[in-house]
């Protein structure tokens, strides 16, 4: 039992250490090592329950350390009492940790499979449970292991082919092979050969250009107003916010100007028309367009409202309405059960309606622009709904909710993955940071320091064509994982019958 408690604590600490593989640290080899340790202990577990608890412990370490920014959102800006905020965060971490626990159960059930088949099957199980975590109850795919490989790891080369979940599959397979390499359950040269083949293959894929530039680069300005979250919705501060963004817009000579999510904290029908007309005229003088974030009242008069981006300038006025809303932040699921939370959290506009799922790119400054708002860029399978028509991706966010935590850095890394998956530039305009221009290879070309008021001015190249991920979405990764897990289950079952 003492040995088991040691393993339990070791994998918990390994889960914490895994967070260093993600932004802002970017130590991409680290998750391979920490997962290899987890797999080693799984192989040493004599009972299924032990494997389940080890998976759960790893998950608690990973999520308790990796999503600490939620406490800032709940307590600092949502005004939730500290004890209640900690309790809510722990409940979420417990839920998220159930998925690696399920993977541990599957790993234990397949222990009779041959070493290589077990490695492939457990990697598939991890990927499938990770995908399930990103799908159930609107999904929470934050800290999917594949994100840790963006942008510098050779394994990032697989992103345009199989997406973030496919990269997770390959990272976890690398960890399982590394486990066997040290355990020497199979010939070291065989495990090493498979491992080298995977990493060399990813490195080689980085030299393939899946998409092609189209037209000349467009000048862009991404604005960061740096409006404090606790002041943003105060009526006596709205005029100052409008003045800040007007000044930033008027300083820009770019064809495409982008403001953050709900940059003007008003409904579209309450903004002074002269204000919008003035900004639209400036955009037309630049031979371009400006995107402004506003809350939008529906025209049906039933108090429905959306989180929207409006365009003004040389192009016809267009609007994008956010579809994938944040639970408990932008809508309350199961109101009869959780409606009381509205009275605890002091979050304005916490009951948005959903925009259409199949909205088309906006024609702006000569580009087809796929807009997504804040949390939406966590869901790559939804981003590709506007592709391959779109030539540019734009994400607008208000990461002020995360404060000075690692949250904004992790969100930037997620946007880097979306750029890699689609072979498109990603332009991020955020309230307090991190505002950045990301190229089609997932590299940050320019960015504004966090918590500064400024405009990021640069060039963005439009791209056309479709990566395999744009064509097939998550289906390739799911198919591979399903086949590998199925083979592992069948072999383990046959071996158990023959034992």
Q: What is the pLDDT of residues 382-434, one digit of tens each?
A: 999 999 999 999 999 998 878 888 999 999 999 999 999 999 999 999 999 89
- Where helices occur in 369-452 by DSSP H, the ranges are 380-383, 407-422
CA dihedral (359, 364, 370, 375) positive or negative: negative
- The residue whose two tokens read 């202990």 is 41
User: What are the E-state strand segments in 2-130?
Assistant: none
Task: Please count the other Cβ atoms lying within 10 Å of the Cβ belonging to residue 363.
Answer: 14
State what percent of residues in the chain have pLDDT above 70. 92
**Confidence grade of residue 234 (pLDDT, cut at 50, 70, 90):** confident
Give the pLDDT score at 25. Answer: 95
| Catalytic position from the list 64, 103, 179, 261 | 261
**Confidence grade of residue 349 (pLDDT, cut at 50, 70, 90):** low
Distance CA 264, CA 24 (A): 29
Beta bridge partners of 373: 396
| Catalytic position from the list 64, 93, 103, 374 | 374
pLDDT greater than 70 at residue 258: yes
Find the largest Cα–Cα distance for the chain. 81
Lowest mean per-residue pLDDT among 79-88, 266-275, 447-456: 79-88
Give the pLDDT score at 245. Answer: 96
Cβ within 8 Å of residue 418, ≥6 positions away: 377, 380, 383, 393, 395, 426
**Residues constituting the chain:** 499
Distance CA 224, CA 430 (A): 6
CA dihedral (50, 52, 58, 60) positive or negative: negative
Distance of CA 468 to the CA centre of its chain: 19
Specify whether the CB–CB gap between 375 and 324 falls below 8 A: yes
pLDDT greater than 80 at residue 76: no
Distance CA 431, CA 399 (A): 7
Cβ within 8 Å of residue 365, ≥6 positions away: 218, 255, 256, 287, 288, 289, 313, 314, 315
Q: What is the pLDDT of residues 466-490, one digit of tens each?
A: 999 999 999 999 999 999 999 988 8
Specify whether the CB–CB gap between 121 and 487 falls below 8 A: yes
Beta bridge partners of 171: none
**Confidence grade of residue 53 (pLDDT, cut at 50, 70, 90):** very high
Specify whether the CB–CB gap between 228 and 433 falls below 8 A: no
Give the pLDDT score at 295. Answer: 92
Give the pLDDT score at 403. Answer: 83
Distance of CA 469 to the CA centre of its chain: 16
Mean pLDDT of 75-94: 85
Cβ within 8 Å of residue 285, ≥6 positions away: none
Q: Helix, strand, coil: what percent of the chain each, to 5?
A: 55, 15, 30
**Confidence grade of residue 230 (pLDDT, cut at 50, 70, 90):** confident
Distance CA 288, CA 293 (A): 17
pLDDT greater than 70 at residue 334: no
Give the pLDDT score at 81. Answer: 84
Kindly state the tokens that stand for 97: 């940790």
DSSP state of 468: H
Lowest mean per-residue pLDDT among 171-180, 209-218, 279-288: 171-180
pLDDT greater than 70 at residue 10: yes
DSSP state of 327: B
Is residue 2 part of the annotated active site? The answer reads no
Kindly state the tokens that stand for 178: 């590394």
Give the pLDDT score at 2. Answer: 59
Give the pLDDT score at 344. Answer: 57
pLDDT greater than 90 at residue 154: yes
pLDDT greater than 90 at residue 156: yes
Distance CA 445, CA 438 (A): 6
Mean pLDDT of 147-156: 97
Give the pLDDT score at 339. Answer: 55
Distance CA 427, CA 258 (A): 9
Lowest mean per-residue pLDDT among 79-88, 212-221, 244-253: 79-88
Mean pLDDT of 279-307: 91
State what percent of residues in the chain have pLDDT above 90. 72
Mean pLDDT of 250-268: 95
Give the pLDDT score at 399. Answer: 85
**Confidence grade of residue 492 (pLDDT, cut at 50, 70, 90):** confident
| Catalytic position from the list 64, 322, 330, 421 | 322
Distance of CA 348 to the CA centre of its chain: 24
Distance of CA 431 to the CA centre of its chain: 18
**Confidence grade of residue 214 (pLDDT, cut at 50, 70, 90):** very high
- The residue whose two tokens read 């309790």 is 87
Give the pLDDT score at 65. Answer: 96
pLDDT greater than 70 at residue 186: no
**Confidence grade of residue 69 (pLDDT, cut at 50, 70, 90):** confident
Mean pLDDT of 301-312: 88
Is residue 64 part of the annotated active site? The answer reads no
Give the pLDDT score at 347. Answer: 60
Distance CA 466, CA 431 (A): 31
Is residue 281 part of the annotated active site? The answer reads no
Distance CA 207, CA 210 (A): 9
Lowest mean per-residue pLDDT among 207-216, 313-322, 344-353, 362-371: 344-353
pLDDT greater than 60 at residue 336: no
Give the pLDDT score at 114. Answer: 76
pLDDT greater than 60 at residue 343: no
Domains present along the chain, CATH in parentheses:
2-209+473-498 (no CATH), 212-466 (3.60.110.10)
Give the chain's mean pLDDT: 91
């Amino acid at each position: 039992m003492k040995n088991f408690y040691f393993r339990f604590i070791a994998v918990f600490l390994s889960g914490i250490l895994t967070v260093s593989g993600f932004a802002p640290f970017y130590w991409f080899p680290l998750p391979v090592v920490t997962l290899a340790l987890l797999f080693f202990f799984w192989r040493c577990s004599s009972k299924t329950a032990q494997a389940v608890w080890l998976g759960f412990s790893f998950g608690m370490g990973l999520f308790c350390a990796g999503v600490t920014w939620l406490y800032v959102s709940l307590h600092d800006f949502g005004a939730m009492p500290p004890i209640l905020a900690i309790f809510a965060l722990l409940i979420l971490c417990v839920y998220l940790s159930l998925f690696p626990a399920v993977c541990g159960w599957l790993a234990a059930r397949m222990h009779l499979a041959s070493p290589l088949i077990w490695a492939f099957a457990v990697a598939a199980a991890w990927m499938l449970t990770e995908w399930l975590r990103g799908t159930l109850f609107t999904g929470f795919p934050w800290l999917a292991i594949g994100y840790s490989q963006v942008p510098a790891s050779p394994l990032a080369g697989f992103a345009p082919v199989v997406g973030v979940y496919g990269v997770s599959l390959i990272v976890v397979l690398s960890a399982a092979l590394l486990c066997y390499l040290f355990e020497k359950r199979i010939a070291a040269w065989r495990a090493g050969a498979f491992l080298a083949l995977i990493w060399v293959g990813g490195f080689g894929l980085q030299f393939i250009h899946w998409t092609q530039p189209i037209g000349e680069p467009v000048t862009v300005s991404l604005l960061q107003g740096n409006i404090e979250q606790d002041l943003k919705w105060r009526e006596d501060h709205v005029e100052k916010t409008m003045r800040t963004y007007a000044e930033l817009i008027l300083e820009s000579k770019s064809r495409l100007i982008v403001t953050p999510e709900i940059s003007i904290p008003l409904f579209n029908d309450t903004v002074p028309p002269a204000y919008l007309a003035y900004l639209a005229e400036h955009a037309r003088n630049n031979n371009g367009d400006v995107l402004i974030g506003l809350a939008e009242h529906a025209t049906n008069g039933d108090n429905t409202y959306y989180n929207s981006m409006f365009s003004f300038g040389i192009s016809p006025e267009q609007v994008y309405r956010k579809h994938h809303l944040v639970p408990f932040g932008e809508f309350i699921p199961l109101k009869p059960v959780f409606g009381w939370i509205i009275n605890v959290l002091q979050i304005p506009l916490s009951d948005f309606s959903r925009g259409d799922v199949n909205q088309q790119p906006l024609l702006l400054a000569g580009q087809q622009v796929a807009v997504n708002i804040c949390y939406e860029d966590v869901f790559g399978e939804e981003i590709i709904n506007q592709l391959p028509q779109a030539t540019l991706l734009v994400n607008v966010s208000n990461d002020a909710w995360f404060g000075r935590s690692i949250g904004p850095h992790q969100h930037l890394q997620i946007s880097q993955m979306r750029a890699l998956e689609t072979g498109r530039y990603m332009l991020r305009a955020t309230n307090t940071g991190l505002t950045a221009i990301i190229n089609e290879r997932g590299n940050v070309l320019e960015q504004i320091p966090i918590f500064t008021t400024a405009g990021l001015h640069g060039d963005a190249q439009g791209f056309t064509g479709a990566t395999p991920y744009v064509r097939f979405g998550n289906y390739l990764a799911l198919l591979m994982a399903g086949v590998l897990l199925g083979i592992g289950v069948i072999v383990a079952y046959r071996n158990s019958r023959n034992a």
